[in-house]
Structure formats: structure tokens, C-alpha cells
Structure 1
Amino acid sequence: MARWVLPVVLVAMIATAVGALVARQIYAEPETSPSVVLPSDHPLPPGEQPGDPTVAGTSDAAEHPLYETVRALLQTYFDAINNRRYDQWRTVVTKNLAKISPEKWRADFGSTKDGSIVVRRIENGPVNTARVLLSFTSVQDLEHAPYELPEKCIHWRLVLPFTVEDGTWKLDTGVTNLASQHEACEVP
């Protein structure tokens, strides 16, 4: 009679452990990342533009293996623009893009503040490249606005190219970032 007791006890222990693991998965609180947002079509009121300068992403973007790398690069990129830190900006862009002189860069971004920054999608390109669909809002003096849209507040939607340079992901130049969509912020 003692022969069958040990196997039964072992099976019961294993079943209990498996049941506990399954219950933990079912009843666990879902993990949420503070950098994941739901897209919104409701812009902020004018006095609150450009919005939070923290780079966030949609759940679609956050599922991509490059998301945290891209998010960190973009955070540094936008922080550099918002804080007028040319040297910081150069650390996250390719050598080709970094050819912009400090004077030209400051002339382009001299009063710009960016916020409401959302990585909407990340797609792999050819080897060591990726494209990132991004939206954000910028506020700036009219002299720093694009010549085709001289507005103080602009909503942007564009695709930015990323590439590996010297073993590190960097924001690159290319035709994708030339095809941006932008519109003036709504004024109530």
C-alpha cells in the first residue's frame, strides 16, 4: 500500500504548483508601462501646448523589440532641442546629420519646444535600419516655424529613419523625414 502513496503525493504537489502558476497568470495585474499611451485625437488647449515632453508610445510601438532603444534616443533628441543642447543632440544623430553647424541648428530650433511626443509605429527596414512613425507638437516663434507653415503651434506626423552607425542606433537623414505632415494647432 505504501508504494502508490508517494507517486500520488508527487502528482498532487505538481498539480498544485501548476495550478498556482496558472492562477498567478490569470489574476495578476496587467503590467503597464508609463511610456505607453492610447492615441488621442483631442488636442490640448492652446495654453497647455506643446504638452508633456516625455516620449511615449502606442501599445503597437511598445511591442517592437527596438521600442526602448528608439524611445531613449528620441527622448535625448527632444530634450536636446527643448533645452538648446546642440552637443547632446549630436550624440543621437548620424555623422551625416551632425554636419549641421551649431549656428544653423540654433537658428532652426532657437525657440522651439516640443511635447505630446508619441512613437506610433516602428518598422524594420533593410539590415540595421528602421523607420519610426512619430507624432508631436511644437511651439515656436514664427521665425523658427517652417517657411511653408508659419505658425506658433504645429502638430507634426512624420517618419524618421534610424540606422546603426559604429554599432549604435542613431537618428538618420533620408527621404522619409522629408515627407512630414504638419498642420497648425486648433485655436478655439
Structure 2
Amino acid sequence: MVEGSMRQQWVWPAVLVAVVLTAAASLLARELYADDRAAPPPAAVLPSEGPLPAAEQPGHRDVRGTQDATQHPMYETVRQLLQTYFDAINGKNYARWQTTVTADRIKNMPETNWRASYRSTLDGSIVVYRIDTGPEDTARVMLRFISKQDVSDAPLELPVACIRWSVVFPMAIEDDVWKLAGGPTGASPQHEAC
């Protein structure tokens, strides 16, 4: 009887150890074989509302997004499109700019007008805040950015060297590619001096 009792005392700890080891092994396997597609979205930015020192304006040249924007399924498409758009303006490359906008926008902004409008412009601190998709392959992108320009090239209603813009860019699919479109949402941006 003593021998059977001792055997029973060892069975429960052995079963407990086996259960714990099995659970630990399954957790380890789950971590090792986790699906890479479940990786978190790119790190979002928390835009600063504070002014940039004059020497740092207009700020970073890469397009960034808030958490709301980076979680949208179109974010990477929008980010790449806007990066090309702003790189074209900053690089004074009209041909590159044409690849980012609809035919109507190109028609309304011939190269001579474009070069005159952006001759001294340098854009930065570009942050996408929100992306909204609409009907019939359309979308709207809310963003903020800073432009530096000669005062003579600034808008007539705000003749300053540094402007903080809050805009909504309409987008549309043209030739199976997303492009920045014209229209009333992009025609009246909010802007203020830096």
C-alpha cells in the first residue's frame, strides 16, 4: 500500500509538468510560425502643432501619415503618389508632376504657368491626416504641409515666405492609376503664416 501511494504522489507532478511543457511549446511554436501579414502597420507620426524654427522650415521632405491614415488600405498608394507629387514640385520637374495628376489638371496648368507658380516653392513637413474613399473610384486625402517661397510668389491674400497649408486633395482613377484630381475640394485650401 505504501508503494502504490508513493507512485500516485509522483503521477500528478509528472502530469502537471507535461501539461506545462506542452503549453509552453505551443506558445513558442505560435510565435515562431506567426503569419508575417499580421505585422503592424508602419509607425504613425504624431504631428507637432508647434512652429518649426525658421532655419528648419519647411521641414522633412518625406510624406508621413497619422495613425488614422496609415491604417487605411490605400495609404501606401497615397503616400507614394504624394511623395512623387511633392518631389516633382521641390525638384522643379514638370514632366514628373504630370505623372501624378489627371489630364484635366495638366490642361489647366500648362508648363509655363506651373513653372511660374512653383519657381521658388519648397514644400516639407508633409503629413497625411485622413483618407476617405468615395463612389466610382474616387477618394479624398486630408493633409498638411509647409511651403517656403519668395514673398512675391506667395498667394496674394497671404504674401509671406512661409505658409502652413491644410488641404483636401481629391483623387480619381485615370488609366487604371490613382491620380490627384482637380475640383472644388482642392480649390480652396486653408492656409496661415508659419
* TM-score, reference length from structure 2: 0.81
Candidates 84, 97, 100, aligned match of 1:89: 97
Instruction: Tell me the CA shift for residue 74 of structure 1.
Output: 0.3
Could you say if the C-alpha distance between residues 31 and 43 of structure 1 is closer, same or farther in structure 2, counting changes exceeding 3 Å? Answer: farther
Q: Percent identity over the alignment?
A: 52
List alignment gaps of at least 5 residues for structure 1.
1-10
State the match for 2:127 in structure 1. 118
After the TM superposition, which residues 98-137 of structure 1 pair with which residues of structure 2 at under 5 Å, given as runs? 98-99=106-107, 100-137=109-146
Instruction: Tell me the CA shift for residue 23 of structure 1.
Output: 5.6
State the match for 1:6 in structure 2. none
State the match for 1:63 in structure 2. 71
State the match for 2:16 in structure 1. none
Matched, 1:179 2:188: yes
List alignment gaps of at least 5 residues for structure 2.
1-18
State the match for 1:80 in structure 2. 88
Greater helix percent: which structure?
A: 2
Bigger-Rg structure (1/2)? 2
Could you say if the C-alpha distance between residues 21 and 133 of structure 1 is closer, same or farther in structure 2, counting changes exceeding 3 Å? Answer: farther
Instruction: Tell me the CA shift for residue 179 of structure 1.
Output: 2.5
Tell me which amino acid in the other structure corresponds to 1:20. Answer: L
* TM-score, reference length from structure 1: 0.83
Instruction: Tell me the CA shift for residue 20 of structure 1.
Output: 2.1
State the match for 2:173 in structure 1. 164
Would you identify which runs of 4 or more consecutive aligned residues in structure 1 move more than 3 Å?
Answer: 11-18, 21-25
User: 2-side partners of 1:45 and 1:21: how far apart?
Assistant: 50
